[in-house]
Structure 1
Amino acid sequence: MGSLALTSMHGTANAADAIKIGEINSYTSLPAFTVPYKQGWELAVEEINAAGGVLGRPLEVISRDDAGKPGDAVRIVEELLSRDKVDLIAGTFFSHIGLAVADVAKRQKVFFMAAEPLSDAMVWSKGNRYTFRLRPSTHMQASMLAEEAAKLPAKTWATIAPNYKYGQDAVAAFQRLLKERRPDVKFVAAQWPALFKIDAGAEAEALAAANPDAIYNVTFGGDLSKFVREGSLRGLFKDRTVVSLLTGEPEYLEPLKDETPDGWIVTGYPWYAINTPEHKAFVNAYDEKFGESPKVGSLVGYNTFMSIAAIIEKAGSTDTEAMVDAAEGIEVSTPIGPITFRKSDHQSTMGAFVGRTAVQNGNGVMVDWRYANGADHLPGPDEVKHLRAGN
């Protein structure tokens, strides 16, 4: 995917006045998530510019594809800063890429709004003054799931997760948080397939051989579909509870269709059942513009750029230090309710929906869901000081 510039001019603003945002993401590596994400921020930019922009200036987005490679991402960010003279950086999906960009933000002292990378290191062990993250982290979502898992009778657990930073963090957080609630549980097996190279049949057989009471799954995308299919064929999920990170998201449920497993405990996004006026307005605007329903990526993209606009507005300029100061503690309105970017670690309190999977009319959906506020699943300021002590 090449570059994309979105600019809408209103009032007396002209191209020289535009606020330039450098945006990067893994568009060709994971289009199921990143394309809806792109559509989400396009909608936000359109709405912001139609309302007169920010500080009377339109937003211009210069978008690049990092091809899922940290080296490419770093090179692109350097180009956006030196050649395109962007005012700030936004985006990224994979955790190892987000961490690489965060390092550039720290070195170059440029504001970076990380949209999606979920690794806890983004805001804790590798956190820095210039990096903020929108999406609920692995710790936050693992905490939400551990809260539900602790209610189960299961005492022995097995895990499966992609073998890179996100998967490693997600498993470590869930194990720690579940054991805090249930000291009697044991983890008896762990499978670590390479990202998007899963041998699902072999992984399912290895998990079955361990005979756990329950499974914690962190696979996503094509790996998830293969794991569900092969696990179902081998009876892996029969009479066994599965707790699964991200599986309730439309990006991953929709491809499964009637193969969606029944009763998995998941985090996700039941857009079709959220009936607040703010959310309905978002869904209607998204459908009107793109002719389809939103995904989690859509919501993340939209919230990312609405947050950026609110931060610049509060800062009164695009000066980096002013934006950082403005972002710390700011509250932003979103289609799923207000969120706050915490001063202590720059993590937003955006939450996630927790429920169970089911099949309705041949499609995978979330049922019996609730919204878990991200603020309820984050450590306090004193613990954050310890977590960020080395940076």
Structure 2
Amino acid sequence: MPHSTGPSRALSRRAFHGSLLGLAALPWAAHAASGKPVLLGIDAEFGLQNSTSAQAIELGVRIAVDQINSAGGVLGGRPLEIVTKDHRSIAARGIRNIEEFAAMPDLVAVMGGRFSPVVIEQLPILKQSNIPFLAVWSAADVIVDNGSKPNYAFRLSLRDSLAMPFMMEQASKRGIQRVGLLLTNTAWGRSNRAAVDKYSAAHKLPKVVGTTWYNWQERSLIDKYNKLLEADAQAVLLVANDDEAATLVKEMAALPKDKRLPVLSHWGVTGGRLFKEAGAALKEVDFSVVQTFSFFRARPAVLEPFMATARKLGVQRIEDIESPVGVAHAYDMTHILAKAIQLAGTTDRAAIRDALEKVKLHDGLVKRYAPPFTPTRHEALGHDELLMARYREDGVIMPVQT
């Protein structure tokens, strides 16, 4: 059974009972793995109230690990085993977690969670420890563009320099000429501001007419929103997580209809229970969010074996999957890591880092990666994967037809 040093609410919510039997997904063995485990760490915000992102990442990893181990594991029969640690969105905890991961023999990589500010604070200890860091949610550019040579950070996720230009493009397609930015006063917010500035230098529209900043856990955002309204913004580009977004949505819903601007949101809001937190107010606001993936658009040839294993872990329908991008990214990244371990032929972290740059092909849920990474590109996703989505009446995140 996998180690766990932090809470794992995804497992309690879903019926993970009995042994995990999965599908034969990898070609190098035909029997279940039973040797000495190879460890994969997950460091994420498991204990953060109302958060679903860490649990989504763990679910994606567990589905992939079940398939890999059922097919014989790695390195001639060694199973992958998961070790979870909870940083609760607190950087100091995250740094301590990386130190503890680094001391574990046979731990080959750490997969990170949603919060870019935590990951940014972890970068020095990650560099010192030479642990391959697999970013499957955090979007700040500097996580991968960190200046390290060799670079141990690999991302299969959105990045801010893709997200904000895409949101600006989507606003323009809707005929919006003036936008206001409502940003979190963190490294993540500043990363997004830099991405908008770069986009605006090359495009006349939409024009940014104002920027307001809020601090984490502020109880009201309406004064920041009203400043953008007074600046004559026609829409708001929001960089927030679910709790702040829910606060904003409820405050906007209380305004007259002609004062409720469309909101185009970064995807941090889908890492928690925005639909539940915002309640009926969400129906009163034009709210859309950028995503990299939707299970409703997944290719059947990849989705069907994924769901066959997911059902054994208690997930019966794609509509039951919370924070879907986290699940899909972690699932694909785990399979890519397994291929890199095979290429390396060892649990040596430096060898696995090098091998991640040499995996030639993976046919994943999100896309066909050919290749996932190269020595000069540690970003697996690009503009072509981006889409806008909305919350359906039952809270399911659905892609928007554009």
The question of a shared fold, defined as TM-score above 0.5 by the shorter chain, is answered with yes
Which of 146, 158, 169 is equivalent to 1:136? Answer: 158
Residue aligning to 1:211:
232
User: Aligned pair 1:338/2:399, yes or no?
Assistant: no
Which of 350, 364, 374 is equivalent to 1:321? Answer: 350
1:202-231 deviation digits (Å, cap 9, x = unpaired): 333333222212211112211111111211
- TM-score, normalization: structure 1? 0.82
* Whole-Å separation in 2 of the counterparts to 1:3 and 1:33: 14
Alpha-carbon deviation of 1:53? 0.4
* Whole-Å separation in 2 of the counterparts to 1:138 and 1:82: 32
3-state DSSP of counterpart to 2:237: strand
- Which residues of 2 match residues 210-289 of structure 1 at below 5 A? 210-235=231-256, 240-246=261-267, 249=270, 251=272, 254-255=275-276, 256=278, 259-260=282-283, 263-268=286-291, 269-274=293-298, 276-289=300-313
Instruction: Name the amino acid aligned to 1:289.
Output: L
3-state DSSP of counterpart to 1:87: strand
Instruction: Name the amino acid aligned to 1:41.
Output: V
On the 8 A contact 2:108/2:347 being kept in 1, the answer is yes
3-state DSSP of counterpart to 1:98: helix
1:28-60 deviation digits (Å, cap 9, x = unpaired): 126321112212211111111111101221112
1:57-83 deviation digits (Å, cap 9, x = unpaired): 111222111122222212222122225
Which of 340, 345, 348 is equivalent to 1:311? Answer: 340
User: After alignment, is 4-13 or 81-90 more displaced?
Assistant: 4-13
User: Aligned pair 1:349/2:381, yes or no?
Assistant: yes
Alpha-carbon deviation of 1:102? 2.9
On the 8 A contact 1:23/1:61 being kept in 2, the answer is yes
Residue aligning to 1:171:
193
User: After alignment, is 37-46 or 195-204 more displaced?
Assistant: 195-204
3-state DSSP of counterpart to 2:107: coil
Which of 2, 5, 20 is equivalent to 2:5? Answer: 2
Residue aligning to 1:20:
39
User: Aligned pair 1:148/2:181, yes or no?
Assistant: no
* Whole-Å separation in 2 of the counterparts to 1:92 and 1:349: 17
Which of 162, 176, 182 is equivalent to 2:184? Answer: 162
The alpha-carbon distance between structure 1 residues 27 and 3, as it changes in their structure 2 partners (threshold 3 A), is closer
Alpha-carbon deviation of 1:180? 1.8
On the 8 A contact 1:4/1:62 being kept in 2, the answer is no
Alpha-carbon deviation of 1:159? 0.7
Residue aligning to 2:16:
none
Alpha-carbon deviation of 1:252? 5.1
Alpha-carbon deviation of 1:291? 3.2
1:182-210 deviation digits (Å, cap 9, x = unpaired): x2543222221112334133333333222
* Whole-Å separation in 2 of the counterparts to 1:47 and 1:309: 11
User: Aligned pair 1:104/2:121, yes or no?
Assistant: no
* Whole-Å separation in 2 of the counterparts to 1:144 and 1:27: 29
RMSD over aligned CA atoms reads: 3.2
On the 8 A contact 2:42/2:111 being kept in 1, the answer is yes
Q: Identity of paired residues, percent? A: 20
* Whole-Å separation in 2 of the counterparts to 1:141 and 1:237: 27
Instruction: Name the amino acid aligned to 2:66.
Output: E
Alpha-carbon deviation of 1:95? 0.9
The alpha-carbon distance between structure 1 residues 335 and 188, as it changes in their structure 2 partners (threshold 3 A), is same
Alpha-carbon deviation of 1:277? 2.8
3-state DSSP of counterpart to 1:161: strand
* Whole-Å separation in 1 of the counterparts to 2:258 and 2:305: 38
Instruction: Name the amino acid aligned to 1:354.
Output: L
3-state DSSP of counterpart to 1:191: strand
Alpha-carbon deviation of 1:304? 2.6
On the 8 A contact 1:163/1:193 being kept in 2, the answer is yes
Gaps of 5+ in 2: 12-18, 22-29
- TM-score, normalization: structure 2? 0.80
